[in-house]
Amino acid sequence: MIISDKKMEAEAVLTVGRLMAAAARTSPKGKGADTIVTLLLTDDEKNRVAKQMEKIAAEEDIPFFKRDADNIYNCPAVLIIGTEFRPLGIPHCGDCGYDGCQACVKEGQGRCNFNVIDLGIALGSAVSVAALHHIDNRIMFSCAKAVLELGMLPPAVKMAYAIPLSITSKSPFFDR
């Protein structure tokens, strides 16, 4: 059997995307509470997100959404990592801007800082896996914003970031 370089590279991107999701899941979390959600997008679903990004770029006059959409079209997979907002009941905290978790929950607008920190740690863990496997990647707000607007994540997920993955001779995420 002969497996072509393009087929091997496509399989490698998906394998590493799965390993990145595992790294996000096992990353340290505040109070051990897991609020992380992951998706791996390919093919039609990935392109659906890129189209939404183009729509946002045109309607809101935000050129970097179009630039990032071009990156999404041209990569084989995108890992999405998001977080639910679930206050963790940390005593004497108030990092969300409220007097405590109960006030944050009552207002329904606060964002538990520990959930946000956990998302950042999960992102760092995921991209470290990509780097270890020499998969080009970049953390993107724009792509995940489109994913959220399309309702592709559970309703409890209010914040997410995307990590497009690519194997090319030169990173498509570098000179943009």
Q: Would 142 be classed as within a structural domain? A: yes
Enter the pTM of the model.
Answer: 0.94
Residue 176 placed within a domain: no
- Would residue 139 count as lying in a domain? yes
116 occurs within a structural domain:
yes
Tell me, yes or no, whether 172 lies in a domain.
no
CA nearest neighbour of 14 among 98, 71, 76 = 76
pLDDT tens digits, 13-49: 999 999 999 999 999 998 898 999 999 999 999 999 9
Residue ranges making up the domain that contains 16:
5-166
The CATH number of residue 66's host domain is 3.40.109.10
Hunting for tokens 């920190």 — which residue is that? 117
pLDDT in tens, 62-88: 999 999 999 999 999 999 999 998 888
Torsion sign, CA atoms 88, 108, 40, 137: negative
